Amino acid sequence: MISLTINGKTRELDSDPDTPLLWALRDELKMTGTKLGCGMALCGACTVHMNGSPVRACSLPISAAAGAKIETIEGIDSPVFHAVQQAWRELDVVQCGYCQSGQIMSATALLQGNKKPSDAQIDAAMSGNLCRCATYHRIRSAIHRAAD
């Protein structure tokens, strides 16, 4: 049995310890806000926070997440997160939307550690989150707006 703390709640999973956290979230806990893109830690669609830092849930075994504080798009709740959500809405960032929960989780992690990031810092922090609709300029603008 593996015990995970997800969005402040303890969840017990009777799964193989090597199960990727993304599978546990989506298939076992029915939390589908975190998306599967590449499944190989390359695209960022599956980004969640572990102890406040962005991690790729597709390549993180649940054994490595045990004891950590995991936050997903469904449960994260902080002033920075709400500012990011609002900026995303105001600037109409989303196109198809598939990658956006991962984008928002990475943007929130960035702003939690850096209240006024530069363009270069935003680009560096967001470089692991791919968007096939190329919403990168709007994402950068929204991060600046959320930081204001």
- Is there binding between residue 41 and ligand FES (CB under 6 A)? yes
Q: Shortest Cβ distance from residue 102 to ligand FES (Å)?
A: 8
Contact between 73 and 61 (Cβ < 8 Å): no
Amino acid letter for position 105: M
Q: Any idea which residue has 């922090």 for tokens? A: 125
- Is there binding between residue 42 and ligand FES (CB under 6 A)? yes
- Is there binding between residue 37 and ligand FES (CB under 6 A)? yes
- Is there binding between residue 26 and ligand FES (CB under 6 A)? no
Element (H, E) at 101: helix 100-113
- Is there binding between residue 49 and ligand FES (CB under 6 A)? no
From 39, 61, 66, 114, residue interacting with ligand FES (rule: CB under 6 A): 39
Q: Tell me whether residue 41 or residue 68 sits nearer to ligand FES (CB atom).
A: 41
Q: Shortest Cβ distance from residue 98 to ligand FES (Å)?
A: 11
Q: What DSSP character marks residue 111?
A: H
Q: Give the other-Cβ count within 10 Å of 141's Cβ.
A: 16
Strand order, beta sheet including 47-50: 9-13, 2-6, 69-71, 47-50, 53-56
Q: Shortest Cβ distance from residue 118 to ligand FES (Å)?
A: 25
From 5, 33, 38, 66, residue interacting with ligand FES (rule: CB under 6 A): 38
From 6, 44, 49, 54, residue interacting with ligand FES (rule: CB under 6 A): 44
- Is there binding between residue 65 and ligand FES (CB under 6 A)? no
Spatial CA neighbour of 109 closest among 76, 137, 145, 135 = 76
Spatial CA neighbour of 148 closest among 113, 107, 117 = 117
Q: Interface with ligand FES by CB under 6 A: which residues?
A: 36-39, 41-46, 56, 58
